[in-house]
Structure 1
Amino acid sequence: MRLFGKLYAQALVWARSPKAIYYLAGLSFVEAFIFPIPPEVMLAPMMLGKRHKAFHFANLSLLFSLLGALVGYALGHWAFQALRPVLDSLHLLAPIEQGVTVLRQQMAQHRWGLFGVLILAALQPVVPMKFVTWACGIIGVPVLPFLACIGIGRGKRVWLLALLIRLFGERAERILHKYIEWIGWAALVLLGLLLVWWVWLR
C-alpha cells in the first residue's frame, strides 16, 4: 500500500462520510477503467457500519463496476491508439498490452478459455480490472459475454465480502485479508468443476 497509501486513506475517509454511498458508486465506476484502488476498501467499513445493508452495498458496487467496465471497453475499442501517450505516462500501457496478448491468444485458441481468464481476472484483487476492460475493447471480445464474465468475477468478490461481514462482523476483514488467495482459487476451482459438468452433460 506504500505506493497508493494516500489514496487508500482517502477511500477510508469517504467510507465514513454521510455521502459514502455516492463515493462508493463513483469509486466502483472509475476503478473499472482507470483508478488504482479497489472499491472493497470502502465496502468493508460501510458494511461493518450497516451490516443489514451489506448486500445492498455489494450490489450497488457491482452495478457501477459493470458500468465502468463498459467505459473501459469503449475506450479500448475506439480510443486506445489516441490515448497511448496518456496511458504510458500513467504506467498503464504495458499492463494493458500484456492483457491484450493474453486475451488474444485465448480468443484464438478457445472461447471458453477466454471467458475463464476474464472471470479469473475480475475475481482476483491482484489483477486490476481496468487492464482487462481496456484489453477486451481493444481485441473486440463480444460485449454480452464480457459483461457476464466481469459480473460473475466481481460479483463473487463483493458478495463474498458481504456474506463474511454478515456472518462474522469485524473479523471478516481479517479473514478476507489473510485468506483471499485461497478463497479466490477455491471459487475458481468450483467454477471449473461446474464448467466440466456442463460440458459433460452436453
Structure 2
Amino acid sequence: MPSVMSMRKPSTKFSLQGPPGLPYVAASSPDQTPGVPLSCCSRNWSNALLGRSPMATSEDLEKKTSATSAPSLLRRLYLRVLAEAETSRGPAVLAAVAFTESSFFPIPPDPLLIALGIGAPRRAIPLAILTTVMSVLGGLLGYAIGAWMMDTVGDSIIALFGAQATFEEVKGGFLAYGFLSVVTAALTPIPYKIFTIAAGAAGLPLAIFIPASIIGRGTRFIAEGILVWRYGEPIRDFIDRWFAALTIAAVILGVLGVALLQI
C-alpha cells in the first residue's frame, strides 16, 4: 500500500469540478475578483468561480487563464491548489488549505480532497479525517481572531470578503442558535470563516463551538471521503450536483426535529 507522500497520480485528468458551494459571487468579468457570500446551495461552484462552461476541460481553462491579461487572484489560487493533487505535496497542501480556509483563505479544501481521494481511493477516508482535524483547528484560529483581534485583523478579513452585513446577522444568530449555527455553517457551503470569527466576537463558549465544529466539519468531509472511497471517479459529478442540496436538506430536517421536540 503506498504511503500518503508517495501517492500515485490520478489516472484521469481533473475536470476542476468539486463539490458545490464555494460561497462567493462569481466574477462578472475575467478581471473582477469574487468576494461576497452567494448561497449555501449553489451548484457547479467551480464553474461559476472560474467562469467556464461545465463541459470545458482543464486545458481549455488554462488557455483561457493564460490568455487573460490580468486573471483574477482567486482563479489562479484555485488552479494552483488543485494542481497540488498531482504532486507529493498534496496531503500537506490539503492540510494547510483546510486550516486556513476556516479563518481567512478563500478556497475550500473539498476539491483537493476529492482529487487526492480519486487518485488513491484507499487514502480518501484518512485524508478526510486529516481535513476535518485541520479545519477544526483552523476554526479555533478564526475564533481567536474574533475574540481578541477583531479590531486589528477580524474587521479586515470581513471587509475583504465584503461580508460586513452578513457578519452582524451571524453574530445575532448565535444568541438564539449558537450550537446549531456552528453545525450548519460547518456542514454546509456557507462561508465557515464568517462563522468562526463571529463566534469569537460573540463570545460563544468554546465548549459549544468545538463540538459543533467537529460534528459539522467531520460530517461534511468524511461523507465526501466515503463517497470517493466507495465509488471513485464516477461520484465526482454526483457530489458536484447534489452534495450541497443533501446537506442543506439534512440541516432543515434537524431544525424541524429540534422545533418539534420543543413543542
Q: How many aligned positions are there?
A: 192
Partner of residue 35, structure 2: none
Q: How does 1:1-202 map to 2 (within 5 A)?
A: 1-2=49-50, 4-83=74-153, 86-87=156-157, 91-92=160-161, 94-95=162-163, 98-107=166-175, 110=176, 113-125=177-189, 127-192=190-255, 195=258, 199=261
How large is the RMSD of aligned CA atoms in angstroms? 2.1
Unaligned 5+ runs, structure 2: 1-48, 51-71
Deviation at 1:40, TM superposition (A): 0.7
Deviation at 1:101, TM superposition (A): 2.9
Change (3 A) 1:194 1:24: same
State the AA in 2 paired with 1:115.
F
Distance 1:69 1:129 in 2: 8
Answer yes or no: is the 8 Å Cα contact 1:97–1:135 preserved in 2. no
Give the TM-score normalised by the residue count of structure 2: 0.67
Distance 1:96 1:73 in 2: 17
Distance 2:228 2:98 in 1: 19
Unaligned 5+ runs, structure 1: none
Answer yes or no: is the 8 Å Cα contact 1:100–1:136 preserved in 2. no
Distance 1:193 1:16 in 2: 43
State the AA in 1 paired with 2:82.
L
SS in 1 for 2:91: helix
Change (3 A) 1:177 1:74: same
Q: Percent identity?
A: 28
Answer yes or no: is the 8 Å Cα contact 1:96–1:135 preserved in 2. no
Distance 1:168 1:143 in 2: 37
Structure 1 or 2, whichever has the larger Rg, is 2
Identify, as 1 or 2, the structure richer in helix: 1
Deviation at 1:86, TM superposition (A): 3.4
Deviation at 1:196, TM superposition (A): 5.7
